[in-house]
Structure 1
């Protein structure tokens, strides 16, 4: 695997390349970084040049100064800059959760740059209805009580299970824990609100030349992001495509998930 950096306005992005073949960019969601796809990547590198990266403000991609007012737009433009820097032509993209929001905005801003986009459970607020009304003010909890309280409230409201910490963490796991603590601070303090207020341009998404596939996790039914994915697909006049596992099925079931992703990309 090759790791490189790319200077962009207000940040420096760190990204990784592995494998050979057409480019498949994997975009993490929320506070996640490239390590979210550690289990998935090896199942794809025999067919694709897999590109992973840490979005601006997270882990290895620090920002300079204060976060911008339009983080979703900045993340979308960062993907545009990264794809240009790769110099490999149109790419396939798999994007999860908030990363799917990034890529939906990218599709509006940079039409035709992506061949196929699989947007997995994008949490589009307009489709959450009563779920959104019952959702706690996570940024306020973070400001008043810190990361741990905000994380507990966020995971419970999102329908996610909190994994137990490793009983005897390795130095690498300890370091990753520190990075994720900082990432959650950035997410709760800045990025979550930007994702929550984002609105899809349905006309642009319907008109795009990109093959747009909205995906949901088979085991995630009833959770907010799953519901939003179904409703977005319906608003676009298409059916959502089911993938193995839950909201993070690519980590929990990487082999079956990679097989399904390859199938979807092959037949798009």
Structure 2
């Protein structure tokens, strides 16, 4: 999720950002907090990097206590056991970050992989989820074309293991029918904003993009896309879920 226009490219220096870490099941998770008000956790999707939300987090900090974080094995968080990827662990991580930020519960926004994590938190830890917005969850099993998409994601996974994650990433991006140029532009704007926001700490310790892509394509892809939300349990838990769809996807029914 990125914003466009002058506000997305010009950092807001008056917004105070505090950074910290929390230990969760063997890894240290980097997180940021800004603003005051009801707690709002933003969960990143592919790449697991809090920086994609920097611009929108600054904007929302006028009304919310915005919490962003790097998911385990991504960006500034650690990767002590990258061979394991479990949605349930990811949702426990999200709640650990909420608690480390001094909150018992939060509103949650997730995009792509992030909203699968939000849905799982609503299922397993409803006490920590005040409500959640799921932006285009990639849950292939609930699609009318479930078999088609499950085959596609399985083929991307096989490509990653036989020919490498870079080629698999290209196959993934062009296969999921997204506006590639807009996606790249939005990501670039988000990164540039975040770098300007923190005056680009050149020696910041980060997991490499190659390792991040390996985690995404070889470990994260299938658990995320095969995830089946337990809608009935979430309803019984009393957690409100709002499903959000972008105009591009809505117009093309992708």
Map Cα deviations across residues 44-102 of structure 1 (whole Å, 9 max, x no partner).
Answer: 0111111100011111111223433x521110111122222222232111111111001
Match in the other structure for 1:200: 229
The answer to whether the Cα contact below 8 Å between 2:39 and 2:107 also exists between their aligned partners in 1 is yes
Matched, 1:105 2:120: yes
Shift of 1:174: 9.4
Match in the other structure for 1:187: 216
Q: TM-score, normalised by structure 2?
A: 0.78
The answer to whether the Cα contact below 8 Å between 1:32 and 1:180 also exists between their aligned partners in 2 is no
The answer to whether the Cα contact below 8 Å between 2:150 and 2:225 also exists between their aligned partners in 1 is no
Matched, 1:116 2:117: no
Q: TM-score, normalised by structure 1?
A: 0.74
2:126 partner SS? coil
Shift of 1:158: 1.1
1:190 partner SS? helix
Q: 2:102 aligns with which of 72, 87, 98?
A: 87
Provide the C-alpha distance between the structure 1 equivalents of 2:213 and 2:203, rounded to a whole number of angstroms. Answer: 14
Change in CA separation of 1:88 and 1:173 when aligned onto 2, cut-off 3 Å: closer
How many residue pairs get aligned? The number is 222
Match in the other structure for 2:18: 2
Change in CA separation of 1:32 and 1:173 when aligned onto 2, cut-off 3 Å: farther
Provide the C-alpha distance between the structure 1 equivalents of 2:69 and 2:54, rounded to a whole number of angstroms. Answer: 11
Map Cα deviations across residues 86-137 of structure 1 (whole Å, 9 max, x no partner).
Answer: 2223211111111100111111111132112111111111123254155251
Q: Which has the higher contact order (CA 8 A, sep 6+)?
A: 2
Provide the aligned C-alpha RMSD in A: 2.8
Provide the C-alpha distance between the structure 1 equivalents of 2:225 and 2:43, rounded to a whole number of angstroms. Answer: 18
Change in CA separation of 1:2 and 1:203 when aligned onto 2, cut-off 3 Å: same
Matched, 1:132 2:161: no
Shift of 1:217: 0.8
Change in CA separation of 1:133 and 1:101 when aligned onto 2, cut-off 3 Å: closer
Q: Where in structure 1 do 4 or more consecutive aligned residues deviate above 4 Å?
A: 169-178
5 Å matches for 1:163-242? 163=184, 179-221=208-250
